[in-house]
Amino acid sequence: MKVWVPCDAASVACGADEVAAAIASAAGLRGESVEIIRNGTRGMIWLEPLVEIERDGLRHGFGPMAPEDVPALFEGDEHPKALGPVEDIPFFAQQTRLTFARCGRTDPLSLADYEAGEGWQGLRRALDLGAEKTVEEVTASGLRGRGGAGFPTGIKWKTVAGAEAAQKYIVCNADEGDSGSFADRMLMEGDPFCLIEGMAIAGLAVGATKGFIYIRSEYPHAIRTMGAAIRAAREAGIIGDSLMGQGPRFDLEVRVGAGAYICGEETSLLNSLEGKRGMVRAKPPLPALEGAFGMPTVVNNVLSLAAVPWILTHGGAAYAEFGLGRSRGTIPIQIAGNVRHGGLFETGFGVSLGTLINEIGGGTASGRPFKAVQVGGPLGAYHGPDDFDLPVCYEAFAEQGGLVGHAGFVVHDDSADMLALARYAMEFCAIESCGKCTPCRIGAVRGMETLDRVAAGDPAAIELLHELCEVMEKGSLCAMGGFTPYPVRSAIRLFPKEFSRAQEAAE
């Protein structure tokens, strides 16, 4: 019997290791031979630990499993946690999984599994095409930076390719600090060779021989898996002295962050990589021209780089067929927080916010009425039911004073305290600000204090808060101070009464 039990950190956090141990011991007791494969997660996190068993060539799902549910797996009767064929579960069946095509299906560290699932085909095609045509293919795909800024990846690559330097770098931003985001982690733990392939293609395309993957220290599982995958790819001769034995040199190294959210900002990340304080740098110079160690550098998010193997395998035009307007391709949406069906849902840009929350997400986990969703992490705006028609794409959210960011959607039910959440936004900025620019460093602290005055019923405080938000938005050096006002102002706009309650009570 072939059994899959995910090794993803979210599955493990929900008890996957205990379930795997229970399966091994139950099989031992019955004298049955069971092959347990630790796969990545399918991304249906509310069903984790999601065990899969192969029957008649189809993988059937059972979940969420606990050790006490295991013995029944070996009895013929209908299992109470049976979900049917796992790929027929509507949440999974409705997706367009390009970047996450293999994640959950394979053993993340099996080179044979990777190869069998179109692995290395993108890199082979890039080696055939050569550097210039590879960049053209990425440009044609319309891929834009999935870390949040949405900058066209092809243009970035072209800039680095055109720069003359003795050394160039590919830096993968895996400092996924946004609450509500876990797609980078899921990919690194579930399909690490995909990221390696994407980085190798990037290296080939721009003439870089060295790549760094900067992973946050809060992700110990991802750090271990990426390290093991790099060693395996090197031993197999895929990366190292020559890409697949026929291309130029390209090698990879994992670097571990140290608990600073700001290092997700690309220039701060570069300083951190160089061994400095993670202070934001003023631009220009662009990292594409003066990046890591002063050399031309591609800095791309995990999801941008992991989209590249599919683009090279199937062509940029095929990727561009998905999406809406200037947001091309697919976006791995992460539905999180107080939601019934939380997880990763990869789909073409354009799905509406309401569909995402009510149909795909199944409404709140608590069963209480929906109140607001914060989109794009701690710097993203809150959206209420009035925005349910909004399609998920960069332009539509920007027009509403928000952002898609890294596509983390955190759902709140009607018990959410918006004043407390607005204060938290300022507090988080105060804790994580790098301190380089005054609007962010001082503004966040003043924002906390002003929100405390709002909570105490000070009638002058709200106007002051709006002015402060404007200063932060217009005067900050990067998105940390610049976007922290988004959640604050949107919370006030959507729920003004929660910010005037104390004042009314005082009057």
Binding site for another protein (CB under 8 A): 9-10, 12-14, 45-46, 48, 176-182, 185, 217-221, 255-261, 272-279, 292-293, 334-339, 342-344, 365, 374, 378, 408, 410-413, 416, 420-421, 424, 428, 431-432, 434
Cβ closer to another protein: 276 or 474?
Answer: 276
Nearest alpha carbon to residue 269 among 182, 173, 177, 195: 173
Tokens coding 169: 């770098």
The closest of 404, 411, 418, 400 to 354, measured between CA atoms, is 411
In the bound state with another protein, the residue whose beta carbon lies nearer, of 39 and 153, is: 39
Token pair 């060295």 in the structure block, residue: 210
> What is the rounded distance in angstroms from the CA atom of residue 456 to the CA atom of residue 417?
15
> Could you tell me the smallest distance in angstroms from the CB atom of residue 338 to another protein?
4
Long-range contacts of 148-156 (CB under 8 A, 24+ apart): 148/178, 148/301, 148/376, 148/377, 148/403, 148/404, 148/405, 148/406, 148/479, 149/479, 150/327, 150/394, 150/404, 153/300, 153/304, 153/308, 156/288, 156/298, 156/300
Could you tell me where the DSSP H helices lie in 167-242?
183-190, 192-206, 220-235
3-state secondary structure of 413: strand
Q: How far is the CB of 487 from another protein (least distance, A)?
A: 9
Shortest distance in whole angstroms from residue 15 CB to another protein:
8
Minimum CB distance to another protein smaller for 392 or for 416: 416
Nearer to another protein, 322 or 483 (CB): 483
Least Å distance, CB 333 to another protein, is: 11
Is residue 346 a contact partner of residue 321, using CB atoms and an 8 Å limit?
no
Taking the complex as a whole, how short is the minimal distance between the CB of residue 35 and another protein, in angstroms?
Answer: 25
In angstroms, rounded to a whole number, what is the distance separating the alpha carbons of residues 475 and 439?
Answer: 6
Least distance to another protein, CB of residue 174, Å: 11
* CA atoms of 37 and 239, how far apart (whole Å): 26
SS (H, E, C) 71-89: HHHHCCCCCCCEEEEHHHC
Closest to another protein by CB, 142 or 378: 378
| Shortest Å distance, C-beta 390 to another protein | 19
Provide, rounded to whole angstroms, the least separation between the CB of residue 361 and another protein. 10
Residue with smaller CB distance to another protein, 135 or 223 = 223
Q: What secondary structure letter does DSSP report for 436?
A: S
Q: For another protein, which is the closer residue by CB, 176 or 265?
A: 176
Task: Specify the amino acid at residue 80.
Answer: P
Residue 236 DSSP symbol? T
Minimal distance in Å, beta carbon 139 to another protein?
30
State the minimum distance, in angstroms, from the CB of residue 309 to another protein.
23
Residue 154 or 378: the one with the smaller Cβ distance to another protein is: 378
Complex with another protein: residue 89 or 312, whichever CB lies closer: 89
Q: Least distance from C-beta 297 to another protein, angstroms?
A: 12
Query: What is the rounded CA–CA span in Å between residue 128 and residue 120?
Result: 12
Residue (334 or 490) nearer to another protein, CB: 334
For residue 130, the tally of other CB atoms under 10 A from its CB is 12
Whole-angstrom distance, CA of residue 118 vs CA of residue 198: 13
- Using the minimum distance from each CB to another protein, give the nearer residue, 126 or 411: 411
| Residue found by looking up tokens 């319309």 in the block | 142
307 touches 298 (CB < 8 A): no
Minimum distance, C-beta of residue 212 to another protein, in the bound complex (Å): 9
Exposed, middle or buried, 190 (CB in 10 Å: 0-12/13-18/19+)?
buried
Q: Which is nearer to another protein, 27 or 199 (CB)?
A: 199
347 contacts 333 by C-beta, under 8 angstroms: yes
CB of 224 to another protein, least distance (A): 11
Whose Cβ is closer to another protein: residue 137's or residue 290's?
A: 290
* φ, ψ at 236 (rounded to 5°): -80, 0
The burial of 75, by beta-carbon neighbours within 10 Å (0-12 exposed, 13-18 middle, 19 or more buried), is given as exposed
